[in-house]
């Protein structure tokens, strides 16, 4: 289990300069990437995108590529002067005004393109280092979330057992309550027979029966235990689906509770399940 949240950075350098890569990631239902690059090279940017997409399955990722040259990649003044003289001479021949230094400078090879060329060999090692650091942080947070999930799963299993016991105890309580109400309504005008009580209890028991819901809830909790103990790291979507099914059974049990104690237990289960759903939104 790994979290979608994390930070990682890496760098690689050679005699020409250093490339720094900074990655940050937060939870998101799909995979998105926000890339900021000082290289201004579409091929290198696309290579970084593909590598990040392959390694980081889910989440919203922000990546920043920073290239720091070992020496200034400023304008070559000799080249600038030579180019200006040639263009000025051509302008005089044509009877045109001489060009400005700024205009000539824009015609020379740019600092950005030189930086991209120098940094191309550094991209893969720097990016790999940053991804590894990000994944390590994600794994560490994912381990903490897994421990939290295990505690919540054990609590849900205890609450399910309590629900089963409270549901089974409702029949006797309802029988006594029903007999008393019938005696009050009939007021001695007719006999409250056992057959009448049995028939009414059977109808009531069918309406409030939660046996199937609790059986399915137990099966879902078994699946949850298997998922939490499994080796699949990218299980966020499976976890969200499973919690949705667990919530469905808890809600149905609550709707059919017809008992203060059972209703209270299902409310506790809902609270635990909602906590798990919030945490599941952070799992990749």
pLDDT digits (tens, 9 = 90+) for 34-70: 999 988 788 889 999 999 999 988 899 999 999 887 6
- Check residue 195 and give its pLDDT: 66
Same domain, 121 and 14: yes
Same domain, 212 and 123: no
Same domain, 167 and 129: no
Q: Which residue has the tokens 């990437």?
A: 33
Instruction: Write out the DSSP string of 197-258.
Output: HHHHHHHHHHHH--HHHHHHHHHHHHHHHHHHHSS-S--HHHHHHHHHHHHHHHHHHHHT--
Instruction: Write out the DSSP string of 99-149.
Output: PPHHHHHHHSPPHHHHHHHHHGGGHHHHHHHHHHHHHHHHHHHHHHHHHHH
Among 16-20, 23-27, 119-123, 253-257, the range with the most confident prediction by mean pLDDT is 23-27
Rounded CA-CA distance 208/119 in Å is: 70
Tell me the pLDDT of the chain averaged across its residues: 85
Same domain, 258 and 172: yes
49 domain residue, yes or no: yes
Same domain, 153 and 85: no
- CATH code where residue 33 lies: 3.30.230
Same domain, 149 and 40: no
Same domain, 58 and 104: no
Cα angle 60-65-67, degrees, rounded to a multiple of 5: 170
1 domain residue, yes or no: no
59 domain residue, yes or no: yes
Structure tokens at 274: 């909602």
Same domain, 11 and 128: yes
User: pLDDT confidence of 16, banded at 50, 70, 90?
Assistant: confident
29 domain residue, yes or no: yes
Tell me what the mean pLDDT of segment 161-175 comes to: 80
Q: Let me know how long the chain is.
A: 284
Q: Which of 138, 153, 178 delimits the end of a domain?
A: 138
pTM of the model: 0.69
274 domain residue, yes or no: yes
Same domain, 131 and 238: no
201 domain residue, yes or no: yes
60 domain residue, yes or no: yes
Same domain, 152 and 171: yes
Looking at the structure of the chain, the number of domains it has is: 3
Same domain, 65 and 93: no
CB-based contact 276:243 (threshold 8 Å): yes
Rounded CA-CA distance 93/13 in Å is: 48
208 domain residue, yes or no: yes
Domain that holds residue 95: 77-110
Same domain, 128 and 145: no
């Amino acid at each position: 289990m790994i979290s979608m949240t994390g930070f990682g950075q890496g760098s690689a350098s050679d005699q020409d300069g250093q490339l720094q890569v900074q990655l940050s990631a937060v939870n998101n239902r799909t995979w998105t990437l926000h890339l900021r690059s000082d290289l201004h090279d579409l091929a290198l940017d696309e290579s970084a995108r593909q590598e990040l997409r392959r390694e980081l399955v889910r989440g919203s990722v922000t990546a920043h590529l920073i290239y720091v040259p070992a020496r200034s990649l400023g304008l070559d003044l000799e080249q600038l002067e030579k180019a200006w003289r040639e263009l000025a001479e051509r302008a005089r021949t044509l009877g045109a005004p001489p060009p400005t230094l700024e205009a000539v400078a824009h015609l020379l090879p740019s600092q950005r393109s030189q930086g991209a060329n120098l940094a191309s060999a550094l991209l893969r090692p720097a990016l790999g280092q940053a991804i590894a650091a990000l994944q390590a942080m994600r794994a560490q947070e994912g381990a903490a979330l897994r421990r939290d999930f295990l505690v919540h799963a054990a609590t849900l299993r205890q609450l399910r057992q309590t629900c089963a016991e409270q549901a089974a105890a409702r029949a006797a309580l309802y029988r006594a309550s029903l007999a008393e109400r019938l005696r009050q309504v009939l007021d001695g005008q007719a006999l409250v027979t056992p057959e009448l009580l049995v028939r009414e209890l059977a109808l009531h028991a069918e309406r409030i029966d939660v046996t199937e819901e609790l059986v399915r809830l137990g099966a879902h909790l078994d699946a949850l235990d298997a998922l939490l103990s499994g080796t699949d790291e990218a299980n966020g979507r499976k976890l969200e689906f499973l919690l949705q099914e667990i919530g469905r059974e808890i809600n149905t049990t609550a709707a059919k509770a017809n008992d203060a104690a059972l209703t209270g237990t299902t409310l506790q289960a809902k609270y635990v399940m909602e906590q798990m759903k919030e945490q599941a939104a952070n799992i990749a």
